[in-house]
Amino acid sequence: MLALAGSSVRAQDVTRDPTERRGEIDITYQHSEEQDLYCTAPAGPCATNGGVIPTHVVTTQSVDFNVRYALKERWTIEGGLPLISRKWGGDGKLPEDPIGYNHDPRIFIPPHTEATFTDDGHYHTYFQDWRVGGRYLLLRDPVIVEPYLMIGFPATDYPFLGSAAPGEHVRREEIGATIAYRPPFLNWYFSVEIGYQYVEKTLDVNKDATRVDAEIVYFASPKIAVKLFASSKNGHGILSPPVVDFTSDVYYNHDRLIRHNYIDAGLGTDWTLSDRNRLNFSWIQMAHAEDIFHLRGAVSMSLSRGF
């Protein structure tokens, strides 16, 4: 979700002349709700009810900080860090909340007393993963081509077990490129960003994935832009859910091993407040889910300031 929100903010940044200003700071707030696990395993709970396992609602609030800085006319470096706060809708107690109970690290054999129990019905807040990387503006007009390299690694020792866990606590490297086109004399802009993620293995399971973001932007006026955008992730990993086994390392790490594939789509608008300030509002909805909680909806608001 955060990657998608960030891509919607970057729409006009790709088209700007990098010499206009040296950098930009983005702050993005996002609120989302997820419910029901959409899974594809051929047996177990996934084999019934059309492959949907009913669950409580997972509520996520996040604040993402991102900074970009132009070293030269074509080179840009960037970095960011999200603050994630998530809440599981149950209380982690049987019999009403078996999924939450199954995510209690204290009931494993041996118990993981060092881990935090996140599915207890309360918000748990952590700084998640640092993002650092760079981009090179290979072509600018009329077609924009901008290869990039991004690296992500955990900023804190946050928990990875549980529906309300803030992340998977693994390293990622992503290589890809943004390709964009703004037709001359038209108020339209088209872009696609394609990247391949190399994900740190857990229990020797391959979690590498392809990520694609795309958007169509219409500049309604010099200050207002309206956009349609979509984001997808298609990668490796295990099918969900694994058999509940409190002695199994696979079950303890299952939230890091499941592939979590999706296609999301959204609608947004950019409002240019001044030469240096821009406000973005976006609505995001899930269009396709595989082995992941279904996103009921997400709203985000971003403020960008150039310097």
Helices and strands: H and E segment counts in the chain: 5, 13
Taking only the tens of pLDDT, the chain with its 307 residues reads 444 444 433 433 544 454 456 899 999 999 999 999 999 888 777 888 889 999 999 999 999 999 999 998 899 999 999 999 999 999 999 999 999 999 999 999 999 999 999 999 999 999 999 999 999 999 988 899 999 999 999 999 999 999 999 999 999 999 999 999 999 889 999 999 999 999 999 999 999 999 999 999 999 999 999 999 999 999 999 998 788 999 999 999 999 999 999 999 999 999 999 989 999 999 999 999 999 999 999 999 999 999 9
User: Are the CB atoms for 298 and 287 separated by under 8 Å?
Assistant: no
Domain extent, residue 57, equals 2-306
CATH number of the domain where residue 11 is located: 2.40.160.40
Handedness of CA 124, 155, 160, 255 (dihedral sign): positive
Kind of pairing, strands 52-70 and 188-199? unpaired
d(CA 286, CA 239): 19
- pLDDT (tens digit per residue) in 134-175: 999 999 888 999 999 999 999 999 999 999 999 999 999 999
Report in angstroms the alpha-carbon separations of 108 from 168, 204, 242, 245, 252: 19, 21, 15, 8, 8
> What's the alpha-carbon Rg for the chain, to the nearest Å?
20
SS3 content of the chain, % helix, strand, coil (to 5): 10, 55, 35
Q: Indicate the number of domains in the chain.
A: 1
